[in-house]
Structure 1
Amino acid sequence: MSDILQTVDWSRAQFALTAIYHWLFVPLTLGLGVIIAIMESIYYRTGDDFWKRTTRFWMRLFGVNFAIGVATGLILEFEFGTNWSNYSHFVGDIFGAPLAIEGIMAFFLESTFIAVMYFGWGKVSRGFHLTATWLTAIGANLSAWWILVANSWMQYPTGCTFNPETVRNEMTSFWEVAFSPVAVNKFSHTVTSSFTLAALFVVGVSAWYLLKRRERQMATRSIAVASLFGLVASLVTAYSGDRSGAIVARLQPMKLAAMEALYDGCEGAPLTAVGILRPESQRTSDDDAFYFKVDIPKMLSIMSFRDAEAYVAGINDLLRGNPEQGILPAEEKIARGRVAIDELARFRDARQSGDQETVDQITRKFDPSTPEGREFLGEYFAYFGYGYLQSPEQLVPNIPLLFYSFRVMVGAGCLFILMLALVWWYNRRDKLAEKRWLLRLAILCIPLAYLASQAGWVVAEVGRQPWVIQDLMPVGVGVSKLPGESVATTFFIFLALFTALLIAELSILFRQIKEGPGKE
């Protein structure tokens, strides 16, 4: 058992490491590609060589980031097969489809036209080059769409049925998988937050030029494009984030309760704006979870269910159950999950022994078109993953990490809206260069944007623990049977490799920024 736990922990750590490093490069690629396309569109419309020079400068920074993002992304996808083979077998028919489409359609689209984007200047018409730039940006965001569809299905498994013969979930509706409410909202929130990060990057770099009294025209015009683009994107991000909260409240209530450190549910639940949690060892009761906090009355109920008096379940409700609210105890879910697991084992044994009557009986239980199937799938198989848990406490994710990560994300997002609005306003009135405090703040917002982006993924992924597939497969079941030492070794290899790539990218970016756009 200790060897299995070691493998699980190291596999989780390795996947988290790869995902974190990969996400350092993706948001800038998604947003900067669109900003570059907008700038080149202005060049195409005006014929002003200034915009060509400006576009090519930002294109150089985009290229460095794009190349390293691809390298880390390829490793991330291979880890599903190497480190999470049980997961890949269990849901490969579903999870593999959007990833295959991403590779065949989106990745090849961007990788094909990026060559024209970089090497086509003066070799193809301006119109075709502009088309290639837009297709590169669209391809990158289409790639994000299909990857986020796959990730969303892990959070909200839909459009599928379970086949007991193959012990696999099989897709029954591609459109339910591709356009589930979780997938649509996650794409909107993730991509617009990436647009915001890219806009902050362009604004921050341009602010550095203004502080250094260099490239004033390029800096102010780049800010004019990026600040408006980023302001719109940040407002959409805030809206989709609000929608995400409502979706999480309905589909992943434990994640919401952990994000708010809400132990006991209540009607008219307040939202904790800021607070400091007590360590678990110092907490004497659920009412004593904070050293201090500032609440907004009824706001959590409003954000979660659009009703000021709505009941929001707490951690204790979800563990112990709440009959008045129709919440099953975790122990009951575990018991039902074990019934589903036992039925699957009985099916396997019946097939091996040639007991066709039992095989047919259990097959009907897994068939959603039969009455017994609808009952069994809804009452027992829906809790299949719970059957692998040892205790209800395993259902509680890391509360302090979620609580603080959520507030970093939201707090930074509010700051970005305010900062981008001020930058756009002062730049429009040609007074931005005088506001040196605002220019410095714009530069500081670049690393803060990356921190907020990572915090968002911490909330999304840590919040659904212990599930690799919500309610159907715990992390410990999805892992490959590998020696923990082997996974630990590759963890440190990847750590060294990714750190070297990050240092290389930063050094190249800083050098390119210091050199500036140069002359065409």
Structure 2
Amino acid sequence: MVTDYLQTVDWSRAQFALTAIYHWLFVPLTLGLSVLCALMETAYYRTKDPFWRRTTKFWMRLFGVNFAIGVATGLILEFEFGTNWSNYSHFVGDIFGAPLAIEGIMAFFLESTFIAVMFFGWNRVRPGFHLAATWLTAVGASLSAYWILVANAWMQYPAGTTFNLETVRNEMTSFWDVALSPVAVNKFFHTVTSSYMLAALFVVGVSAWYLLRRREQLMARRSIAVASAFGLLFALLAATTGDRSGAVIARVQPMKLAAMEALYEGQEGASLTAFGLLRPEAERRDGKGPHYFSIEIPKMLSLMSFRDADAYVAGIDDLVEGNPERGILSAQEKIERGREVIAQLARYRTALEQNDRATAAEVAALFDPATPEGREFLENNYAYFGYGYLDSPWQTVPDVTLLFYSFRVMVGAGVFFILLLALVWWLNRRGRLENRRWLLWVALWSIPLAYIASQAGWIVAEVGRQPWAIQNLLPVSVSASRIGSGSVATTFFLFLALFTVLLAAEIGILCKQIKIGPDKE
């Protein structure tokens, strides 16, 4: 029988996933459209051409609708850490809370301050100050994204921290290790560049609709000129940062990489599966391969992961069962080491209750990085603390099928967007785009595809690190608050209804504003 707490965990996971998915429908457009508005206003400031003022105000209106609803879902997402994940918040709140606090104080306030000038200051402030406000709004949006992604990246790669035995909490020892970790920096650039690409596709798609309707053709062509060049640049950068993400993941989250590729047996010179159809797990365990069929690029996975075409890439079986020849511990060994840490914590609590100072001092030395035994214990045991809460080595394996296909949706769509934006830019430059009605339809329907690809990327990032709330240190199964599952289930359906209404409202308002078109000045 499933305990009420495990039901709470499942409902909390569902609620957080729901909120994150809905929130991410708004964030990428906010990030990219703010920069595109700033670029267009810069064109107006330099040329004094009222056309660019009118065009900027139109796209700014769409940005404002999206921004307002994105803020509402984002606030709910942050509060869920305290309401639904109090064990997690207690364990790492000193670290996780810092970048979120900076985001609120520095970045969000920057956005909220200058966005008022951006929308209502056209005839109230000097043009140069208004342009500065627009750029500062765009900078604030990206800064906000940076600090949130720092917090998320720390969950994937917990750096710059030490464990406090007295409070049973992790505490930050180096702010810069947290803020500038390789995972955080690369996650920021990949997320932002892909968001800029999505916003560019949105502008291209909406402008294509105007060309199809033979309305606002000058605005549509010039908007496409700006957005397609902007989008192509950042689509190429997104591909570059995505390649770098694979190399980072290979080093800090090898199980995620193995699951993304459905790689069960480690290989030297491992191939990258460009496309494949996975077998059900039962068939694979009968001795058949993981794919019914696949198209593979020889040695590409090794090259992308370790910059060496012959490098060894660990498979799922290696990471679960261990591979002593490659220096890979089995998951069972990690579980035993994690349970040793839990046992020592229990021993410490008992010693304090019984006023056994000698035993308490002995245990304290194990958690003190300044002592030789402490350094050894922390490196060899505490590094696997979270494994001690797992029941089975196979719990360390995320959903392979979901990751395998999500990764290919993300990458395949990214390649398609590069080709699409390049073709749209070229034909628009040559004045031939409006006669390619099939391409205009493709551009229009690429808007929902961009959102699907963006969501697929987050599925890879978040599902790929399961079962961990914090990689190796805290599994999701012990992170949730001790509240009734019925309460979480009720709020799940309330949020589902609320977010669906908000999404429908945004789509309706955006479509209405697009049909109305730019204001006449």
Aligned residue number for residue 71 of structure 1: 72
3-state SS of 1:145 partner: helix
Q: Is the 8 A contact 1:201 1:446 kept in 2?
A: yes
3-state SS of 1:272 partner: strand
Aligned residue number for residue 472 of structure 1: 473
Aligned residue number for residue 372 of structure 2: 371
Aligned residue number for residue 171 of structure 1: 172
AA aligned opposite 2:37: I
Aligned residue number for residue 405 of structure 1: 406
Within 1, Cα distance between the matches of 2:230 and 2:205? Answer: 14
How far off is 1:284 after superposition?
4.1
Q: Please list, as runs of the form range in 1=range in 2, the aligned pairs for 1:283-298 lying within 5 A after superposition.
A: 283-285=284-286, 287-298=288-299
Q: Please list, as runs of the form range in 1=range in 2, the aligned pairs for 1:47-446 lying within 5 A after superposition.
A: 47-285=48-286, 287-446=288-447
Deviations 1:170-207 (A, max 9, x none): 00000000000000000000000000000000000001
Within 2, Cα distance between the matches of 1:9 and 1:335? Answer: 26
AA aligned opposite 2:223: S
Deviations 1:447-495 (A, max 9, x none): 0000000000000000000000000000011110111111111000000
Within 2, Cα distance between the matches of 1:438 and 1:426? Answer: 10
Within 1, Cα distance between the matches of 2:280 and 2:213? Answer: 46
Within 2, Cα distance between the matches of 1:151 and 1:258? Answer: 20
TM-score, scaled to structure 2: 0.99
Within 1, Cα distance between the matches of 2:132 and 2:468? Answer: 42
How far off is 1:518 after superposition?
2.8
Within 2, Cα distance between the matches of 1:128 and 1:348? Answer: 60
How far off is 1:281 after superposition?
2.9
Q: Is the 8 A contact 1:209 1:219 kept in 2?
A: yes
Within 1, Cα distance between the matches of 2:77 and 2:389? Answer: 26
3-state SS of 1:427 partner: helix
AA aligned opposite 1:167: V
AA aligned opposite 2:440: L
3-state SS of 1:283 partner: helix
Aligned residue number for residue 458 of structure 2: 457
Aligned residue number for residue 484 of structure 1: 485
How far off is 1:4 after superposition?
1.7
Within 2, Cα distance between the matches of 1:67 and 1:47? Answer: 29
Within 1, Cα distance between the matches of 2:119 and 2:287? Answer: 58
Q: Is the 8 A contact 1:263 1:286 kept in 2?
A: no
Aligned residue number for residue 42 of structure 2: 41
How far off is 1:154 after superposition?
0.1
Within 2, Cα distance between the matches of 1:164 and 1:242? Answer: 39
Deviations 1:25-57 (A, max 9, x none): 000000000000000001000000000000000
- Unaligned regions of 5+ residues in structure 2, if any? none
Within 1, Cα distance between the matches of 2:3 and 2:264? Answer: 31
Deviations 1:229-286 (A, max 9, x none): 1011011100000000001111101101110001111101001000111122333445
Within 2, Cα distance between the matches of 1:367 and 1:136? Answer: 45
Deviations 1:335-373 (A, max 9, x none): 000001111111111122212222222222111122111
Q: Is the 8 A contact 1:110 1:136 kept in 2?
A: yes
AA aligned opposite 2:148: I
Within 1, Cα distance between the matches of 2:99 and 2:58? Answer: 34
Within 1, Cα distance between the matches of 2:463 and 2:288? Answer: 24
AA aligned opposite 2:268: E
AA aligned opposite 2:40: M
AA aligned opposite 1:36: C
Within 2, Cα distance between the matches of 1:49 and 1:287? Answer: 66
Q: Is the 8 A contact 1:39 1:51 kept in 2?
A: yes
Within 2, Cα distance between the matches of 1:347 and 1:128? Answer: 60
Q: Is the 8 A contact 1:31 1:197 kept in 2?
A: yes
AA aligned opposite 1:496: A
3-state SS of 2:25 partner: helix
AA aligned opposite 1:225: V
Aligned residue number for residue 20 of structure 2: 19
% identical aligned pairs: 73
Deviations 1:383-421 (A, max 9, x none): 000000000010110011000000000000000000000
Within 2, Cα distance between the matches of 1:104 and 1:284? Answer: 52
Q: Is the 8 A contact 1:264 1:286 kept in 2?
A: no
How far off is 1:287 after superposition?
4.3
Within 2, Cα distance between the matches of 1:207 and 1:369? Answer: 63
Within 2, Cα distance between the matches of 1:91 and 1:285? Answer: 42
Q: Is the 8 A contact 1:257 1:315 kept in 2?
A: yes
How far off is 1:83 after superposition?
0.3
Aligned residue number for residue 494 of structure 1: 495
Within 1, Cα distance between the matches of 2:153 and 2:33? Answer: 24
How far off is 1:288 after superposition?
2.1
AA aligned opposite 1:65: N
Within 1, Cα distance between the matches of 2:306 and 2:369? Answer: 30
TM-score, scaled to structure 1: 0.99
3-state SS of 2:407 partner: helix
Q: Is the 8 A contact 1:29 1:66 kept in 2?
A: yes
3-state SS of 2:26 partner: helix
AA aligned opposite 2:465: R
Deviations 1:104-153 (A, max 9, x none): 01000000100000000110000000000001010011000000000000
Within 1, Cα distance between the matches of 2:45 and 2:285? Answer: 66
User: How many residues end up aligned between the 2 structures?
Assistant: 520
Within 1, Cα distance between the matches of 2:287 and 2:97? Answer: 42
Within 2, Cα distance between the matches of 1:320 and 1:175? Answer: 35
Within 2, Cα distance between the matches of 1:365 and 1:32? Answer: 52
Within 1, Cα distance between the matches of 2:304 and 2:280? Answer: 27
Deviations 1:72-103 (A, max 9, x none): 00000000000000000000000000000000
3-state SS of 2:369 partner: coil
How far off is 1:2 after superposition?
2.2
